[in-house]
Every structure is written in C-alpha cells, then in structure tokens.
Structure 1
C-alpha cells in the first residue's frame, strides 16, 4: 500500500564503498533512518567517480531526498560544465539511491512509482566464453541446460581496420558452431565491443545473417555513431548500441540511424531518471531497450525496476558468468540473493520497497576495507599499436 513521505525527511549523511571485483557502492542516510543504495561507477575509474560523488553530495546534505528530479537537474547542469561518463555515473548512483529512499518511504517498489508493472517477469541473458569453438559450444550447452534462453559472447579479439579473411571466417565459424550447438530455440547475441571499423562491420554483418542473431552489439566505437546508419543498412542483423552513451542527447542522433536496440546503463547514463526518458525516446523510434549491466547487485536491481515499467523492454544483461571475476560476486553483497533467482531465463518481479533488495552492509564494509584498484586491459596489435579492448 502506498504510504506518504515523512514531511521533514532530510539527507543527513552518505558513505561510499570500493568493493571487489570492480564496483563502487553508495549509501545515503536520512534523519528518519531510511537509507538508499546506489552504484555509481565507471569501471577502471572508480576512484575518480567516488570523488565526483563526494562533490555532488555537498549540496544534497540537508535536502529533501524526495525532490529527485530537482536534484537531477541541479547535479547535471548546476556545475556549468556538463556531461561525460564520470559526472553522469556519479549522478546515476545518487539518483538510484534517492529512488530507493523514496520507494522505501512510500512502501512500494520503484517500478510502482514509474507507472506500475507492464510485465510479470523479465527475461535475462547470460555470457559465455571460450578459447575455441568447442569450448564456446560446451559453455553454451551448459547455459541452455541451466535454463537460459539467450546468451552473448564476443567473437572478435583485437581487430585491425580491415580484418584478414582468416579472422573474419574464424568469427563467423564461432557463430555457426554455437547455432548448431544450441539450436534455434536459444537467442544468440554478439558483442563486437567497438572493435570493428564501419567498413569491417559492413563486410562481416551480412555473413552472420544465416544464423539469425538476436542482435550485434556496438559494432563500432561510439565516436563513430554518425556512421551507424551505413552499418545498419549493410544487413538485416539487428544492431544494438548505447553502453557508452550517457544521456538522452547522446541517444538523439543514434536512435534515428535505424538501430534495433538501445542499451543505456543505469549506472552510467544518469540513473533511473534518465534511463526512463531514454526508453521513452527509443519507443518513439520503434527501438527496443536492453539495459547494459555487467555490474553489481544495486545496478541490476535498478535496471530491473525500469524493465518492469518499460513497454519497449527487450532483455536484461546481468553479470553472473561474465568472466571479470570468479564466483558469484553479484550475490555476495545481498542479505537475500534469491531476489535474483533466474528460472527458465527469467527473473520474477521484485515486491520489496525501493530497489527491491536488501544490501548486506556488513559484507560491503568488510569488502571496502580491502578495496580494489581494478583497471581494464590495454591491448595492442601485432605491430605494437593500440587496439580496442
């Protein structure tokens, strides 16, 4: 039942936690004992984002946490210099925590505050990896047997501007082997990670058409977004992009290029408030939304709240099995990890207030004592020049 916000609710404190494998968590406290959690992070730049969070929070201490939109506008525009992944990720984590507080204060999950659920469960996909077609196929079959109906992998490693025939054929061969291993009742997605040039993407994508991928993600780097139309028009393969776009203004040009799937990240693109707007913009272009989320439990929880209230939602990424860390780190910081129980490739609608999770603060504080300094790899081509990771 919808309650009411305490009339004098005020933000009285906050804390940030660097936790392994590569995440940053934020806790915001109020004078009524209601706390909110967020996940502001740029992977590999966690310390930088942390400092930005501390700067932004200076003006929020003593403020009403329920004025989410007002805070969002002031955080994103009040510093005169705007935009970029560090600022938008810091804003994103704060925004998540404010929605968490508001949902808890009102006694409802956040998706109820976004118009209510439009579905009863959300489809998720998993990652697979391997050093050969056989290893990838074995991993895919194992994920299928575990109940997943969609999976994603990366077929290209460091790729020159014009990849050799052997590299192209190897990548296409991996896709063919996976399709044969799992059949047609499993959706396959490929993440190119921006490793191809527009010309290379136009050559490769038509070769993938017989295997009917669900989508190909980030065929080119975001700096080349204006060239996406030529990539889209090169084949019938659905194109997805957006993990490195940080606002609705970044998406404005991209949505008009004919992409099939927008992939904003709730911890990078301004939080729940901005992803809600990006999703609505995407709907006007007939574009589905599949939020990017190779991150931690708070980011996934925030993504799911959006998914349940977003009509043009397609599928949700999650980090179990992603390969950046051993074990089940996604679940290690939750009091009750069953909220992320996947059954037949779906997760059920959360009903707890706020983001729908209870963060294990003891585990978070213990992890923060160790901290981390995670950095992504920097790749090189055989000639020693820089290669996209």
Structure 2
C-alpha cells in the first residue's frame, strides 16, 4: 500500500493553482485545480480535504473521489469541483507512475495515436485577425478559436452584429476550406441575440459556436440548437454528469467539461461516456496550465468520442508566465501537423519543473475576473 503523506498547493502565475501529492514511498503526483479568479478559495478546500487524505491509500482513486464529492452535506459547484479535480489528477498521476504506464492505459488504452489541437486568436475585441491566425498556422495548428465579441449589448446593435460577422469572415478568408474556426460567445449573449446572429454565421461554417447562453440559462440552449445548423458547444461552467444531462438532451453537439473544474479525470470520463449516448463529441475546455492540458490529453487518448483539444500556449490571458515554463521537457507538447502525438511517459506524461513551481508560488498571484459594464452602467458578462 502506498500511503499519502503530504498534500501541497502552489499558487503560480498567471492564474493557476497546482496540487502536489506525495506518498510515504516517495511517489509524487501533480494535479491542477485552477479556478480562474478564485484560486485562494480552492486552495482552502484542498487544505481541508488534505485532513482526510493524509494517511490514506493513494491507489483508491474512486473511493477518494466518492468521499470528497459526497461525504460533505454541502457539496458541488466550481470551488469544490476544482479542489477534487486537482487531487484526482494527482492520484491518477501517482498510480500511473507507480505502475509505469500512462494514465490512458489505466483507462483502457489508447484509441488514437494523436489529438488535434486548437489555439486562441485575438482578445475580446480582436483586431489583426489575419496576422493572429497566420501565427497559429505557423506553429503548426489547423484550427483556432476566437471570441465573437467583447462587451455585447443585450440585443446587439447593427454595428455589433456586423462586427461579429466581419471578424469571423476575416478568419475564414485566412483559414480557407480545410481549416477550422470556432466562435466563442462566452456566455455574453442573450438567447435572443444568439438566435439572431447564429443563422448569419452559417455561410461562414464555424466549427462550432461555444457558450451561446450563460450557464445559468442552459435550460434555454435547446432553442438555439434547433434554430441553427452550426454545432453548439457548451460545458466549461458545468461540473457534473447531472449538469450535462439537460444540455445533452437539448441537442448540443460538443461537450466541453474542464478537467480542472469538473471533478478531474474520473468525472470527465463519465461525462464523455454519457455524451457518447447522445452522439455528442468531447472537446475539453483548457485555457490553463500544463498539468491540466496533460490530464485532458490522457482522457482524449482513451475516449472514442473525442473531437479536439483546447490549449493556451501563447493565449492573450497569460501574463507573467507561460504554459511551458513549468515543465522540464517541452517535447511532449510539440505540435505535429496540428496534433499532439501520443504521450509515452508514465502518469500524466509530463515532468513538472518543481523548482520553477516553488519559485512561482513564492511570488504568487492575485488574478481576478475583470468587471465589465454596459453603457448604461449595468454589469455585463465577461
């Protein structure tokens, strides 16, 4: 039996929280519990969960997941979900390293040899779309994602709507017919606004449109899914199978759970299996760090209905540190013809630069979600 002897957390720039578990035999596993804007809250929950974990058998991943998610009278949501996710990833990392195999082997083995990746272009008010996309193509990607808009009125003006169309048209012109652009509505649009804009985007054939309504309005998403031929994606702010069931029933085409928010590898595997029964593809949300990305890839290599993987190397959010700053060997994250090849190393498949992580934690970070307002002074969706 390998007993958990220590649980540590690291607040690292630009906005991430890493989790490190160690066993009495010296095995180390890493996870990522990054909840953007609320890392301190998640850190406190991980510290509380550590009271239970220390002294437990590290191999009992599912039992620990059940205890951490169900033993508390108050549970669920992004803070608890992210804390569990970071711990869960670290436990899978330990088990893979002890057994000398990648996590995907523990999930039934690889079903593919490579995973298609996409990158971000532009900020919340993208300009220079052509140059930004060309930069992503130059590093080997064949798909990009862009925000549809910055602050969006509750019912968009003609200028706002035309701005969305013009930016996506500029993207399509650069990408041509053999590469893809996904358009992120980012929960900034009302249902009525999404219903008006989506049909106008159809001639540009986006790969998918993402978060066309805010997550608390997920009960409305079926009205959009039935109103457009564009595949509808959502899920970065849904945290359990139970959260996903209504949107799957409503007709989404792409499920986007975040492995650092939705209970880690254990729960996202179950979300993927549920999605498969609705003929829905998995495309995990991951504008985060290297540990979260590695966990996503491990799931992707073992999941039949896996579509594509988001990654944040060079994303405009990253200020003060980059994804690859915290790994010793950057080769596993190299793009080959728009893909990342099958990871070969044990556990999550990466070697975390512990010295860099500890140095970053000494500096810490205090990243907070920006506060946006409409012209009338009311709070706007970021």
TM-score with structure 2 length normalisation?
Answer: 0.98
Residue 251 (str. 1) matches residue 231 (str. 2): no
* Corresponding residue to 1:75 among 49, 68, 73: 68
* Corresponding residue to 1:113 among 106, 113, 133: 106
Moved more, 363-372 or 172-181: 172-181
Deviation at 1:143, TM superposition (A): 1.6
Over residues 253-296 of structure 1, what are the superposed CA-to-partner deviations in whole Å (9 max), with x where a residue is unaligned? Answer: 11111111000000000000000000000000000000000000
Residue 291 (str. 1) matches residue 318 (str. 2): no
Contact 2:124 2:147 in 1 (8 A): no
CA distance in 1 between counterparts of 2:335 and 2:320 reads: 16
| Partner in structure 2 of residue 93 of structure 1 | 86
Contact 2:9 2:43 in 1 (8 A): yes
Contact 2:119 2:312 in 1 (8 A): yes
| Partner in structure 2 of residue 143 of structure 1 | 136
Deviation at 1:191, TM superposition (A): 0.6
* Corresponding residue to 2:217 among 190, 215, 224: 224
Deviation at 1:142, TM superposition (A): 2.4
The total of aligned residue pairs comes to: 382
Contact 1:130 1:139 in 2 (8 A): no
Residues 133 and 246 (structure 1), Cα distance of their counterparts in 2 relative to 1, 3 Å cut: closer
CA distance in 2 between counterparts of 1:134 and 1:101 reads: 44
CA distance in 2 between counterparts of 1:169 and 1:292 reads: 27
Deviation at 1:145, TM superposition (A): 2.9
Corresponding residue SS for 2:238: coil
| Partner in structure 2 of residue 60 of structure 1 | 53
Cα RMSD after superposing both structures? 1.2
Contact 2:14 2:321 in 1 (8 A): no
Runs of 4+ in 1 over 2 A off after TM superposition: 130-134
Contact 1:42 1:49 in 2 (8 A): yes
Over residues 282-327 of structure 1, what are the superposed CA-to-partner deviations in whole Å (9 max), with x where a residue is unaligned? Answer: 0000000000000000000000000000000000000112111247
Contact 2:93 2:347 in 1 (8 A): yes
| Partner in structure 2 of residue 3 of structure 1 | none
Contact 1:144 1:186 in 2 (8 A): no
| Partner in structure 1 of residue 368 of structure 2 | 375
CA distance in 2 between counterparts of 1:133 and 1:157 reads: 8
Residue 30 (str. 1) matches residue 23 (str. 2): yes
* Corresponding residue to 1:185 among 172, 178, 191: 178
Deviation at 1:112, TM superposition (A): 0.1
| Partner in structure 2 of residue 333 of structure 1 | 326
Residues 80 and 133 (structure 1), Cα distance of their counterparts in 2 relative to 1, 3 Å cut: closer
TM-score with structure 1 length normalisation?
Answer: 0.96
| Partner in structure 2 of residue 320 of structure 1 | 313
* Corresponding residue to 2:193 among 195, 200, 203: 200
Corresponding residue SS for 2:259: coil
Over residues 43-64 of structure 1, what are the superposed CA-to-partner deviations in whole Å (9 max), with x where a residue is unaligned? Answer: 0100000000011111111100
Contact 1:12 1:61 in 2 (8 A): yes
Deviation at 1:180, TM superposition (A): 1.2
Deviation at 1:85, TM superposition (A): 0.4
CA distance in 2 between counterparts of 1:134 and 1:47 reads: 34
Over residues 211-267 of structure 1, what are the superposed CA-to-partner deviations in whole Å (9 max), with x where a residue is unaligned? Answer: 111000001101111111101111101100000000001001111111110000000
Contact 1:123 1:315 in 2 (8 A): yes
Corresponding residue SS for 1:36: strand
